[in-house]
Each structure stands twice: as C-alpha cells, then as structure tokens.
Amino acid sequence: MSGEGDTPQAIRKLAPGKLVIASHNKGKIREIAELLAPYGVTPVSAGDLDLPEPEETGTTFVANAELKAMQAADLSGLPALADDSGLCVEALNNEPGIFSARWAGPDKDFRFAMERVERELGEKGPEASRGAHFVCALALAWPDGHVEWFEGRVDGTLVWPPRGDKGFGYDPVFQPIGEDITFGEMDPDRKHAMSHRADAFRQMVAAIF
C-alpha cells in the first residue's frame, strides 16, 4: 500500500542491507528481528542509533507507524520499519487502542495496564463482552519520503488473571480464538504463525521481497 497519494503504483522492493527498526521496545524489536531473519536484512534498532522517540500524534495505528518510520529514515539515512500496535477491547469502545502503551504509564508497567483493562471491564458488569483484538500497522519508509504500509489483526478473548511470562505487553491476558493458551504462554514460533504482527508481516513480505 503506497504512501504516495491515491494513484496506484507498484510497491517498492526492499534491497538487502541495514534496516532501522524504529522502536525502543526491546520485546517488539526482538520479535520483529526474528520475523525479518530469513530475508537478508540486518536490523538495527533506533535505540542503538540514539534516535529520539517521536510523539505519537496520529489518530490511527497506520498514522503513528508512518510518522515513526519516516523520522527514523530521515535521521538515519536508511530504510526504516516502524510498528504501531495495540489492544482493542470491544466493551471499552476499542480502547486502549492507539493508547495501549500509554495505559502502561511512563514506566511501561503493563501489569498496571492489564489491571486497568480488567478493572474497567468489571465496571461494565458481568455481561460485558470479553472479546478483543490486537491490531498491528507496519510502515516501511525510505529516506526520500516514500512509505509503504500494511495492517494485520488477530481476534481473541481476554482472560484473568494474566497467564505466562513469554511475549510482552498485553500478551498474558489475550487468548486467540481457537487456542486454549494466551500469547504470554505461547512459544515464539507458534505466536509468530498467528499474531497480528505476523499477519502484517506476511502482507509486507509478499509485497516487498
């Protein structure tokens, strides 16, 4: 999906070499690096390059991913990949959504964030839906300003208490449809086969490699 206007254009291919992962989240960087491993790119994180974290002023996952990728590409002179993802809880009007990281506070305390989700669900009453989905938007930007973006999704149910110490973020309370364990209990290879990030990556890989 091209970021250059509404005129259909061929998607730009990504050449082998260095690719900036425009994130300071170590769990997210690790997961993206694992997904990229087969494709001949050398991931380098924004933190390793001392790149600042931009303020996420977008109103959608795609908009926030684009601004992060474009800043990293501009400052580094390299292609940059950014992810913006979050948990959308149906009974909470799809919150925390794009504010998923902010719900964890300045210390990125996702136990606190998961407790907030559970508390607000409880306030909705016992009949409230526990349905939820994760969304991941990936934006790939080049230093000349060209951007491609892709969006993935996985649906599931929220559980309580949290289960598992694998994954990161809200993974311990999210049980994908058709599974009996949470992302927090799941081995990385199994999660990579079904996650929202994996869905977006499949679309990106098919288009740019």
Q: Indicate the domain borders of the chain.
A: 17-208
The predicted pLDDT at position 44 comes to 94
187 is catalytic: no
How would residue 3 be classed by pLDDT, with cut points 50, 70 and 90? Answer: very low
pLDDT value at 125 more than 60: yes
The predicted pLDDT at position 4 comes to 42
* Distance separating alpha carbons of residues 114 and 158, to the nearest angstrom: 10
pLDDT value at 99 more than 60: yes
Backbone angles phi, psi at 158, to 5 degrees: -85, 135
pLDDT value at 198 more than 60: yes
- How many CB atoms neighbour CB 177 within 10 A? 11
Residue 160, token pair as written in the block: 């309580």
pTM: 0.87
More confident residue, 199 or 7: 199
How would residue 7 be classed by pLDDT, with cut points 50, 70 and 90? Answer: very low
pLDDT value at 180 more than 80: yes
Q: Using CA atoms in the order 101, 102, 103, 108, what is the torsion angle rounded to 10 degrees? A: 60
Please name the CATH architecture into which domain 17-208 falls.
Answer: Alpha-Beta Complex (3.90)
- Predicted confidence (pLDDT) per residue in 126-178, tens digit: 999 999 999 999 999 999 999 999 999 999 999 999 999 998 999 999 999 99
- Predicted confidence (pLDDT) per residue in 39-78, tens digit: 889 999 999 999 998 988 999 999 999 999 999 999 999 9
pLDDT value at 10 more than 70: no
Active-site hit among 84, 107, 144, 199: 84
Q: What's the rounded mean pLDDT across residues 117-129? A: 96
